[in-house]
Amino acid sequence: MSEEIVVGIDLGTTNSCVAVMIDSQVVVIPDEQGRRIQSSIVSFMEDGSLVIGNEAQRELVADPRNTIFSAKRFIGYPFDSKEARKLRAQLPYKVIKGEDQNSMIEIRGEAFALPEISALVLHRMKDLAEQYLGVEVNQAVITVPANFNDSQRQMTKLAGELAGLEVLRILNEPTAAALAYGYGKGLDAKLAIYDLGGGTFDMTVLQASGNVFEVKSTAGDTYLGGDDFDNRLTRVILIYLQNHYDFSIEKQPHLRGQIKHIAELVKKGLSVRDKFKLSQQIRLLEYPEPVELNLVMSRELFKKQCSDIIDRSFTICDEAFSRVPFDAKEIDDVILVGGSTRVPLVKSMVEDYFGKAPRTDIDPDEVVAVGAAIQGAMLGAPFSVEQLKHNPLLLDVTPVSIGIMTVQGICEVLIKKNTAVPCEESKVFTTTVDQQTVVKIQVFQGESRVANDNVKLGELELIGIRPAPRGEVKIEVIFEVDTDGLVSVKAKDLDTGLAHETRVKVSTGYSEENVSQMKERLDASGVGAVELTK
């Protein structure tokens, strides 16, 4: 157990939040202006300086090519993957192919790895915590989406390390939310975590029994969120403009982004009032003067445009409930997470689906960081006996199946999705050729029967096998998933009991040399040169 203070960080796609437990109370750490949430945006300025967090928001419009947002969405997707290609098409900054297929971001002629960008955001959170607490902060619990695979978790851990943080635990976001909600309450309840963010949706079903939190099932969609609402409202505004003015959107590509920004404002406005009167001036290339955009948008219109998007989330909920022996109506409490759950239509449709109003006691933007801070406190400074009684046990599950590729290219699942972690599973391998001394095993994560459609975690080579006729040597390979959801593999010769030398590259895909270069660059950037003010 660590003697140091351990902060909890929700490293979000859109926003990040840092919290810490002080005297059994969780404090969400504000920035210099009292804002408790930071934008996960990094802007590289012309003079070489960096602007990170909420201040970087204005650069989205002023300097979109050098302002990086949503970097988390690329994490774990190879450059040539369908997902990365789709994302690239939507973003104003330049993404290039790096070593080992990873995507990299090119800014002012320099290529940055994704964990470097996340590290800058994490560094900002660390700085905020240090300024607030007046002590150095070196350890953290960082949260990730429940469906993050091994390489995405590894990259998040690397980002933490690059930011100068020892990552004591990688915690699943919904599990953190359940902890925030149920910590110390001695609940005996079935909980559902409905998490609708900017671009992703996750549903997690948990059982809280006393202070044990057991994840029963999880399902998600990485392309469902507030962005979809923005896109629908963008379409409405564009149609309005097209009906009133003669212009070509192709000639002014920045216009779509500008209108999307307006659409998001409308959406947020409709979260607090029934109607939103939009009165804005827009510059169109074809007109010498700015044109007027006067439009009244209502919740009615929002419902017509967006209810099918919210409906898609319930298909995912159905999937999560298909794996547990009870249905949605038997859930005791529904906890909302993510900025998009502020939309009143989302709340009312969630209420209809579960047959009860969702809980909103903890801010949906802060709930994950609060849970991470609680977990951090459990791993941090020693507990009194009194506190130990409340020390919750987290039983998480693997979000994605882990398997190996068979000769026919089929993915043979060894650890099924939704298995409680930590867990291990073993399989006996043998040689297929006489005198064979090397066996190569390819490890995949995903749900497809075709191995190559899944994410390849790495290759394992069993080397130095005793030469013998084929089929004689039997090697047991053990796959383990730890509490962070990270995968490791070991092998044992069943005849001799000897551990085999294994070579496994289940990692971020970055070499040690790459990582030290990243560290050097981060140190040189001057980020983190904060003065402790307390």
Catalytic positions, written as ranges: 10, 72, 173, 195
Taking CB under 6 A as the binding criterion, the range among 262-270, 273-281, 354-362, 403-411 that sits at the site for ligand AMP is: 262-270
Interface with ligand AMP (CB under 6 A), residue from 78, 115, 197, 392: 197
Taking CB under 6 A as the binding criterion, the range among 174-182, 221-229, 399-407, 450-458 that sits at the site for ligand AMP is: 221-229
CB 71 within 8 A of CB 106: no
Residue found under tokens 């059994």:
24
Q: Is 363 in the site for ligand AMP (CB under 6 A)?
A: no
CB 324 to ligand AMP: min, Å: 25
CB 344 to ligand AMP: min, Å: 9
Q: Kindly tell me which of 306 and 328 has the beta carbon lying closer to ligand AMP.
A: 306
Residue 300 backbone dihedrals phi, psi, to 5 degrees: -55, -50
Q: Is 264 in the site for ligand AMP (CB under 6 A)?
A: yes
DSSP assigned state of 495: T
Where does 254-329 have alpha helices with state H? 254-272, 299-321
Query: How far apart are the C-alpha atoms of 533 and 497, rounded to whole Å?
Result: 58
Residue 15 exposure: Cα atoms within 13 Å on the Cβ side? 21
Q: Kindly tell me which of 174 and 226 has the beta carbon lying closer to ligand AMP.
A: 226
Q: How far is CA 18 from CA 38, 160, 195, 209, 366, in A?
A: 9, 13, 18, 27, 8
Q: Kindly tell me which of 42 and 486 has the beta carbon lying closer to ligand AMP.
A: 42
Q: Kindly tell me which of 130 and 227 has the beta carbon lying closer to ligand AMP.
A: 227
CB 412 to ligand AMP: min, Å: 36
CB 519 to ligand AMP: min, Å: 28
Taking CB under 6 A as the binding criterion, the range among 7-15, 84-92, 119-127, 148-156 that sits at the site for ligand AMP is: 7-15
CB 336 to ligand AMP: min, Å: 10
Residue found under tokens 């040169």:
529
Q: Is 14 in the site for ligand AMP (CB under 6 A)?
A: yes
The total of other beta-carbon atoms located within 10 Å of residue 242's CB is 11
Q: Is 342 in the site for ligand AMP (CB under 6 A)?
A: yes
Helix/strand/coil (H/E/C) assignment for every residue in 115-128: HHHHHHHHHHHHHH
Interface with ligand AMP (CB under 6 A), residue from 102, 172, 234, 271: 271
Interface with ligand AMP (CB under 6 A), residue from 8, 12, 145, 174: 12
Q: Is 268 in the site for ligand AMP (CB under 6 A)?
A: yes
Q: Are strands 6-11 and 103-107 parallel, antiparallel or unpaired?
A: unpaired
Residue 11 exposure: Cα atoms within 13 Å on the Cβ side? 36
Binding-residue total with ligand AMP (CB under 6 A): 18
Interface with ligand AMP (CB under 6 A), residue from 343, 362, 411, 415: 343
Query: How far apart are the C-alpha atoms of 458 and 500, rounded to whole Å?
Result: 17
DSSP run (H or E) holding 21: strand 15-22
Q: Which of residues 479-498 bind ligand AMP (CB under 6 A)?
A: none
Where does 103-219 have alpha helices with state H? 114-133, 150-162, 173-182
Q: Kindly tell me which of 73 and 190 has the beta carbon lying closer to ligand AMP.
A: 73
Q: Kindly tell me which of 182 and 338 has the beta carbon lying closer to ligand AMP.
A: 338
Q: Kindly tell me which of 264 and 461 has the beta carbon lying closer to ligand AMP.
A: 264
Residue found under tokens 């955001």:
121
Helix/strand/coil (H/E/C) assignment for every residue in 346-397: HHHHHHHHHCCCCECCCCCCCHHHHHHHHHHHHHCCCCCHHHHCCCCEEEEE
Residue whose C-alpha is closest to residue 10's, from 22, 20, 25:
20
Interface with ligand AMP (CB under 6 A), residue from 98, 339, 446, 458: 339
Interface with ligand AMP (CB under 6 A), residue from 182, 198, 403, 509: 198
Interface with ligand AMP (CB under 6 A), residue from 8, 338, 392, 509: 338
DSSP run (H or E) holding 240: helix 226-244
Q: Kindly tell me which of 150 and 173 has the beta carbon lying closer to ligand AMP.
A: 173
Binding residues for ligand AMP, per CB under 6 A?
12-15, 197-198, 225-227, 264, 267-268, 271, 338-340, 342-343
